[in-house]
A and B are shown apart, each in its own frame.
Chain A
Amino acid sequence: DTAVSQTPKYLVTQMGNDKSIKCEQNLGHDTMYWYKQDSKKFLKIMFSYNNKELIINETVPNRFSPKSPDKAHLNLHINSLELGDSAVYFCASRRDRGPNTGELFFGEGSRLTVL
């Protein structure tokens, strides 16, 4: 079973559209993240949720709205898509207990292309 799964893997859409990316983890972790990786491979933290509560909200446009219906899911909705939103979006979950506390487990990424 995939530990952290994201859907869709690829998303091509027009400017101005609204789209969502879903993420699910089956590791029992309490903390989940969204990262954006741009064309230069830079990984920028966007949001972090712990037990469904927003913990980190970086300077991300409010067109981006994360939603965590439960601890195992963290979805990302993007309104009014812009060309600059084209990137690979990674979901991750974090082990918060035990000997490997702090380790992140990543999904395979969702490549968003805005035309």
Chain B
Amino acid sequence: AQSVTQPDIHITVSEGASLELRCNYSYGATPYLFWYVQSPGQGLQLLLKYFSGDTLVQGIKGFEAEFKRSQSSFNLRKPSVHWSDAAEYFCAVGAKAYDMRFGAGTRLTVKP
């Protein structure tokens, strides 16, 4: 089965600074890749996804992610973080056979 690693458990950035959250996956074929965000006490909301084609994908709230097959990575980026971006971020890898696995999550704290 596929697996996902998010190396950073917790990241703190200052408001207005740039952000990069790391995600590495393991899967035998080209996976479906996702980033979800979870605000406290809420369910998960999709930020962006990669299925095929252009390896740089744009999402909601100004986020983008780049798929790098050679590095088995799908890192999430944002050029300027807002205080409202503080949340838990999950990378996920899905396969056609319905299996969807999530990373352990990265908690983002935004300093004023």
Contact = CB atoms under 8 A, between A and B. Distances in A.
A45 B99 contact: yes
Sorted nearest first, the 6 A-B pairs with minimum C-beta distance are A106-B43, A43-B102, A102-B32, A106-B44, A108-B43, A41-B105
Nearest to A50: B98
A56 B43 contact: no
A70 interface: no
A52 to B, nearest CB: 13
A92 B44 CA distance: 9
A94 interface: yes
Contacts of B38: 41
Interface residues of A, number: 25
Given A41-B107, A109-B43, A101 B98 contact: no
Interface of B: 32, 34, 36, 38, 42-46, 49, 51, 88, 90, 92, 94, 96-102, 104-105, 107
A102 B51 contact: yes
A15 interface: no
A97 interface: no
Contact of B98 (A4, A43, A48, A103): A48
A42 B100 contact: no
